[in-house]
Amino acid sequence: MYKLLKTCGRAKRGEFHTPHGVIQTPVFMNVGTLAAIKGALSTEDLEQIKCQVELSNTYHLHLRPGDKIVKQLGGLHKFMVWDRPILTDSGGFQVFSLTSLRKITEEGVHFSSHIDGRKIFMGPEESMQIQSNLASTIAMAFDECIGIPAERPYVEASVERTTRWLERCKKEMTRLNSLEDTINKKQMLFGINQGAIYADIRIEHAKRISELDLDGYAVGGLAVGETHAEMYHILEEVVPFLPQKKPTYLMGVGTPENILESVERGIDFFDCVLPARNGRHAHVYTNAGKLNLLNAKFELDETPIDATCDCPVCRRYTKAYIRHLFKAKEMLAMRLCVMHNLYFFNTMMEEIRLALDENRFPEYKKAKLEGFSASQRQIIP
């Protein structure tokens, strides 16, 4: 159940009540594809860096260790020892990324495992069954994530099918939630809006899926090649046609700048692999822009990554030490930077919520963006 606490223009400040606790929104979900955050972060670490929601991937967990194994082990929460909310994607995005290995039909998608080439079929029912086995807090509907650019006739037909698939997802989840041996009988379902960059198709789709009265609604198929301006435009067009009193989720987005702009356009949920991936490559976020810790100028730098940050890494370690760890190929380097980066994102969301609470989001957003660009010299080329 979503409770809209406050608005500021289209920006929303909400609370989403789930069987695994309340999520304060806007929120950034921390991505642990295979039931672990890359960079050797444990779920104990996640608790230290203000993570509210962990996100795992249906496709990857279906292949390894297998969703039936996870079910036998009591579901994802018990498996990875995390008692707060978990969102699982539907596998759609990964399946559709395997362009050369798949075939789409009305029933679903035939594709080959990227690990061993094994033939797999996944449709709406299969995706729901896998996510029910994983027992995540929130399941995502199985959709077709359309690449950009895409021809209008293809997009129209695909979106129609995604709607039919969504109806099948809802029906299957209702069935699964009623079964005796289902671990999370209150699993929630988010639908996904598609339509590439055709605003009218997206709006029509948004209206139709809104009628299904789901637990939340995502905008999918963005951040897949279009410009930022196109993405923001789509949000401006489509978000007004998604229920304001349900959480909205912009899938796979994005940079701190993207998040600030999208909150302004009414988005509640975000997720992105960027902070963890950048951290593993020594790229770290600060309130004055990104830094590349491999830069020689940090060799003797005794200050933390960000002097204004109170994450477990900045409270303890210097840039010089972390730079040395990267040079020496010590895994600890990655862990420290991933922890800092996720903390940075989670803290920015906390700041956004406070700014919304205190009716000063526009001022906060302006100051934050100015901070990022103030120190152009520090931005990674």
Give me the residues that bind a copy of itself (CB under 8 A), please: 34-44, 60, 64-65, 69, 72-74, 79-81, 299-300, 302, 312, 316-318, 320-321, 324-325, 327-328, 330-332, 334-336
Of the listed 45, 89, 215, 268, which one is catalytic? 89
Is the CB of residue 190 less than 8 Å from the CB of residue 218?
Answer: yes
| Residue 271 bears catalytic tag | yes
In this structure, what is the dihedral angle of CA atoms 339, 39, 279, 98, given to the nearest 10 degrees? Answer: -130
Compute the least distance from the CB of residue 94 to a copy of itself, in Å.
14
Per the annotation, does 114 bind a ligand? no
Measure the CA–CA gap between 70 and 65, rounded to whole angstroms.
7
Closest CB to a copy of itself among residues 17, 64: 64
Compute the least distance from the CB of residue 188 to a copy of itself, in Å.
24
Closest CB to a copy of itself among residues 326, 364: 326
Closest CB to a copy of itself among residues 183, 201: 183
Omega cis (within 30) before 85: no
**Phi/psi of residue 87, each to 5°?**
-110, 135
Closest CB to a copy of itself among residues 9, 66: 66
Per the annotation, does 16 bind a ligand? no
Q: Residue 312: count other Cβ atoms within 10 Å of its Cβ.
A: 15
Q: Residue 14: count other Cβ atoms within 10 Å of its Cβ.
A: 24
Compute the least distance from the CB of residue 136 to a copy of itself, in Å.
16
Closest CB to a copy of itself among residues 73, 273: 73
Per the annotation, does 309 bind a ligand? yes
Is the CB of residue 95 less than 8 Å from the CB of residue 102?
Answer: yes
Q: Which residue has the tokens 């050369």?
A: 100
Per the annotation, does 8 bind a ligand? no
3-state SS, 176-205, equals HHCCCCCCCCCCEEEEEECCCCCHHHHHHH
* 9 three-class SS: coil
Per the annotation, does 143 bind a ligand? yes
Measure the CA–CA gap between 184 and 132, rounded to whole angstroms.
7
Of the listed 45, 215, 268, 271, which one is catalytic? 271
Compute the least distance from the CB of residue 36 to a copy of itself, in Å.
4
Compute the least distance from the CB of residue 340 to a copy of itself, in Å.
12
Per the annotation, does 215 bind a ligand? no
Measure the CA–CA gap between 381 and 374, rounded to whole angstroms.
15
| Residue 301 bears catalytic tag | no
Active site residues: 89, 271
Q: Residues annotated in the binding site for substrate, as ranges?
A: 89-93, 143, 194, 221
Q: Residues annotated in the binding site for Zn(2+), as ranges?
A: 309, 311, 314, 340
